[in-house]
Structure 1
Amino acid sequence: MRVLLLAYGSRGDVEPMAGLGLALRERGAEVVVCAPPDFTGLMAESGLPLVPIGRSLRELAAEAMSGQAPPMTMRERAALLIEQTYGQVRPAAEGCDLVVATGLVPAAAAARTAAEELGLPYVFVSYFPSYLPSPHHPPLAWPGHPLPAGESDNEVLWARNAEVLDELFGGAVNAHRESLGLPAVADLRGHVLTDRPLLAADAVLAPWLPADGLDVVQTGAFVRPDTRTLPAGLEEFLTAGEAPVFVGFGSMPVRDAEAVARDAVAAVRAQGRRVLLSRGWAGLAAEDAADVHVLDEVNQQELFRRVAAVVHHGGAGTTTTAARAGAPQVLVPQLADQPYWARRVAELGIGVAHDGPVPTLDSLSAALEEALAPETTARAGELSATLHTGGAATGARLLLDLAGSRS
C-alpha cells in the first residue's frame, strides 16, 4: 500500500500530516509527502520522503510583510499554486493507492485533480470544525471578503462562503482542469472537501456536531511523536528557577516583532515570571538576561509540561500540544483557524483569548494574570487527562481500510 500526503501550508498544516505518515508507516504502508520546502528537515527527522512544492513559504511571507512581493491577483496566485502542486503531486502519485490532502484550497484541488486522473480515492483532512460547513457554526472570513454585516444565519453564511471560494479560486481551478481535458467543477468547496472529510481534531477541544449533507469522521488530532531531548542551555534555564512562561508565534510572521517581543517580556516579568521567547518565523528577540531565554525550534511536547503558561498564535498544533501538556494558554489569534481555537480555549476555561492580533504590555499583562490564576491552571491540568491521544492511529486505520476496499 502506498499513500501520498499533501500538506500545503505552515508547520501547523504539515507536522500533523507527518504524524499521520508515521502511523501509516507503522501499519506497513509506504508514504510520500508533498509539502513546501521549508519542512525538509522535519520530514528528514521523521524518516518520510518529501517532494517539495514551490518556493519557501517563509521567504514568501517575509516578502509579503516587507511589501516586496510581486503584484499578483488572487487568481494568478491560485493558478501558480495549482500548477506547482499538480506538477509535483501528479508524478509522485503514480503507483499510489490513495491521495490525502490538507491546506490551501487551490493546492488541495490540484491534488484531487491528480487523483481523479489516476483513478485514486481522495480524502480531505481538516484540523478544525469551522473549516467544514455546518449550521452550528459560521465559516471563516476570507481576506477581502468579510462575512455579511448583521447576518447570523449560519446556513446563509455558508452559502456565501461557497460563492466566495468559487470567486477566488474557481476560475483558476477550472482553467487548469480544462487544459487537462477534465470537466469544470461547479462547487469548488464541495469538490475539495468531499462529502466525507476527516476531522483531525480532539473531540473535547473541538467537537463536531452532526450536520446534514456532510459525513464527517472525527479521528482525534494527528500528533507526530517527538522524543528529542531539550537543548542543554534550555534545560539549565528550566532547572534554575520557577516554571517560566513560553511566548512564541510559530510560523506566523508578525508586524513590529521588536515591539511585540519587548512588550511580551515586560508583561511576563510583571507577573513575576521568567520568559522563554521562541524566535519562530516572526524573528522574536530579546537582550540576554538572567530571566530570559531565547530559543529556536524545540520539542514542545516535552517543554510545555514544564512551563507556567503558553502565549501563542493559536494554531491547531500548538493549542493541542499545550492542552495535552496541561499548560494554561493565552492565544493571540492572527488569522484562519486561530480565532476558533482562541474561543474554544476560553470556553473550556483553560486559558484566555486575547482581544485582537497585536499584544501590548497592558493587554498581555491582563491576559496573563487570568491565565496564571490557580483556577485556570487547575482546569488546564484536569482537561489534559481527558484528551484523546490516538488520532493519527485512528486516521491511518480508516485510510488504509478505504484504500484496501478500493483495490
Structure 2
Amino acid sequence: MADRIITVCSGGEASTPRRLRVFMNTLGSRGDVEPFVALGVALRAAGHAVTLCTAERFRSFVVDHGLEYGFMSDGILRLAGTDEGKGVLDGGKEGVLDYLAKLRKLSAQALPMQRQMVRESWAACERPDVIVYHPKAAGAPHFAQKLGVPAVLVLLQPMYVPTVDFPNPLAPSLPFRSGWYNKMTYGMFTALIPFGTSGFTRGWREEAGLAPEPTSSSVLTQPDGSELLVLHAHSPIVIATPADWPSWATALGYWPLRAQPGWRPSQPLADFLAAGEPPVYVGFGSMAGKDPAALTQLVVAALAAAGARGVVATGWGGLRRAGHVPDTVLMLDSAPHEWLFPRMAAVVHHGG
C-alpha cells in the first residue's frame, strides 16, 4: 500500500531516493482512523515523514505509533454522542418528520464545527509532497490544489467508483441484475457530495485565493478537474475488483495495524481467558447507541441464552455496564483486536 503512495510522487517509479513528506487527513470513528495509522506506520518504515491529522481524541493513538499528530478538534464527534446525534444515527424510528427535524438541527450545529475543522487541518498541513485523505476530510483535496501536490483518496468500501457489477452499497438492490442501474447509483451519490461539503469548504477556498469550485466538480477528481488516484482498503478476494474500474482506481487489500511489541493484556483479561472456553466478543467500537445500558443487558441475556462466555467492550459508550453482570461476562474498555480476536470463539461487531 505504501508503494502506491510513493509511486504517485516519483514520476511512476516504484521507489524514490528522496524522503517524502506525507500529510494524511481523516475523520470519523476508530475504523476511519486505524487504516491511516497502519499506512502511516508503513510509510514511516520506508523512511518517509508522516503527519496524520485527525480528531484530538485519537492523538495518543497516532503518537504511540510513532507518527506526527496534526491537530483537529473533535467537537463534531462529541456532537454525534449527544442525544440529538444518537437519535439521527439511530435512524427515523420516531417518524420521518421528527427525524428530518433532528437532522436539520444537527446540521446547523455541525456546520461551524466543520468549517473550523477544515481550517485546523490546513494549519497542520505543512509543505507536504502528497496528501492522502478520507472522504470525510473534505478540505484535503482543496489543500492539494492550493499547494500543487498530488492528492490520493482512500476509500474503505467501494462506494464511489461506478461499476456495472454491483450498486452503490447505500442504494437499494434490485431483485434482478441490472448493470445500468448499478452504474447509475454511483453517479447519483457522488454528484451530491460536493453540494454537501461546499458549505464548509467554500469559505476556505475564498481565504486561500482559489476560484469557486466548479459546479461540475466530482468527488472522483481533484477540484480543478484533474485525475485523482483512488485506493480502496478492502480485499479484492472479499469483493472482486470490477473489470470496468478505470486504471486510477484499485483495491489493495485490508490495511491491518499490527499489535505493538510488548503489549500485554490486563490481569483481569488474562485471567478470564484462562478460566474457561474461548468467549464471544461483542463490541461496537466508537459507535454510540441511543440506550447503551439496555443494549448491554440484551447482549448479556443473549450470551446467557447461548450458554456462552463473553467479552463485552464498552468502546465509546455503545455498551455500558448496567445492572447485574455475571462472572461469565467480562466488561472492558478496549483491547487490540489483532491480539484479542484470535482468542475468541466468535466476534460480534458493528461492521464499520
What TM-score do you get using the length of structure 2 for normalisation?
0.78
Describe the shift of the 1:49–1:306 C-alpha distance in structure 2 as closer, same or farther (beyond 3 A).
same
- How far 1:254 sits from its partner (Å)? 1.2
1:86–1:114 contact (8 Å) kept in structure 2: no
Which SS does the other structure have where 2:42 is aligned? helix
Query: Residue type of the partner of 2:221?
Result: H
Q: Deviations over 1:292-333 (max 9, x none)?
A: 100111121111111110111012xxxxxxxxxxxxxxxxxx
Distance, in Å, in 2 between the alignment partners of 1:73 and 1:285 is 28
Distance, in Å, in 2 between the alignment partners of 1:243 and 1:57 is 38
Describe the shift of the 1:187–1:250 C-alpha distance in structure 2 as closer, same or farther (beyond 3 A).
same
Match of 1:160 among 188, 195, 198: 188
- How far 1:155 sits from its partner (Å)? 2.2
Query: Residue type of the partner of 2:167?
Result: P
Q: Map 1:311-390 to 2 at 5 A.
A: 311-315=348-352
Query: Residue type of the partner of 1:226?
Result: A
Distance, in Å, in 2 between the alignment partners of 1:296 and 1:307 is 16
Q: Which moved more, 1:279-288 or 1:121-130?
A: 279-288
Query: Residue type of the partner of 2:220?
Result: G
| RMSD, aligned CA | 2.8
Which residue does 2:11 correspond to in 1? none
Match of 1:189 among 219, 234, 239: 219
Describe the shift of the 1:56–1:91 C-alpha distance in structure 2 as closer, same or farther (beyond 3 A).
closer
Which residue does 1:198 correspond to in 2? 231
Which SS does the other structure have where 1:241 is aligned? coil
Q: Deviations over 1:149-168 (max 9, x none)?
A: 99961222222113322442
Q: Which runs of 5+ in 2 are unaligned?
A: 1-19, 89-101
Distance, in Å, in 2 between the alignment partners of 1:314 and 1:211 is 27
Which SS does the other structure have where 1:217 is aligned? strand
Q: Deviations over 1:139-184 (max 9, x none)?
A: 243xxxx769999612222221133224423454345424433232
Distance, in Å, in 1 between the alignment partners of 2:103 and 2:169 is 26
Query: Residue type of the partner of 2:44?
Result: R
Which residue does 2:149 correspond to in 1? 120
Which residue does 2:98 correspond to in 1? none
Distance, in Å, in 2 between the alignment partners of 1:161 and 1:129 is 12
Q: Map 1:3-402 to 2 at 5 A.
A: 3-63=22-82, 64-65=84-85, 72=105, 74=107, 77-78=110-111, 80-81=113-114, 83-104=115-136, 107-108=137-138, 110-141=139-170, 153-183=181-211, 184-185=213-214, 186-191=216-221, 195-213=228-246, 215-227=248-260, 228-281=263-316, 282-286=318-322, 287-315=324-352
Q: Percent identity?
A: 30
Distance, in Å, in 2 between the alignment partners of 1:283 and 1:237 is 19
Distance, in Å, in 2 between the alignment partners of 1:148 and 1:201 is 21
- How far 1:206 sits from its partner (Å)? 3.1
Distance, in Å, in 2 between the alignment partners of 1:179 and 1:70 is 29
Distance, in Å, in 1 between the alignment partners of 2:87 and 2:303 is 32
Which SS does the other structure have where 1:190 is aligned? coil
Distance, in Å, in 1 between the alignment partners of 2:221 and 2:232 is 16
Query: Residue type of the partner of 1:190?
Result: L
Which SS does the other structure have where 2:25 is aligned? strand
Normalized per residue, the structure richer in helix is: 1
Q: Deviations over 1:174-200 (max 9, x none)?
A: 454244332323223223695420111
1:99–1:122 contact (8 Å) kept in structure 2: yes
* Corresponding residue pairs, total: 307
- How far 1:84 sits from its partner (Å)? 2.6
1:129–1:208 contact (8 Å) kept in structure 2: no
Of structures 1 and 2, the one with the larger relative CO (CA 8 A, separation 6+) is 1
Q: Which moved more, 1:218-227 or 1:242-251?
A: 218-227
Which SS does the other structure have where 1:46 is aligned? coil
Which residue does 2:97 correspond to in 1? none
Distance, in Å, in 2 between the alignment partners of 1:148 and 1:300 is 32
Distance, in Å, in 2 between the alignment partners of 1:4 and 1:269 is 47
Q: Deviations over 1:246-301 (max 9, x none)?
A: 11100101122222111111112222111111111214325342201001111211
- How far 1:15 sits from its partner (Å)? 1.0
Which SS does the other structure have where 1:130 is aligned? coil
Which SS does the other structure have where 1:277 is aligned? strand
1:13–1:103 contact (8 Å) kept in structure 2: no
What TM-score do you get using the length of structure 1 for normalisation?
0.68
Distance, in Å, in 2 between the alignment partners of 1:242 and 1:135 is 46
Distance, in Å, in 1 between the alignment partners of 2:194 and 2:144 is 21
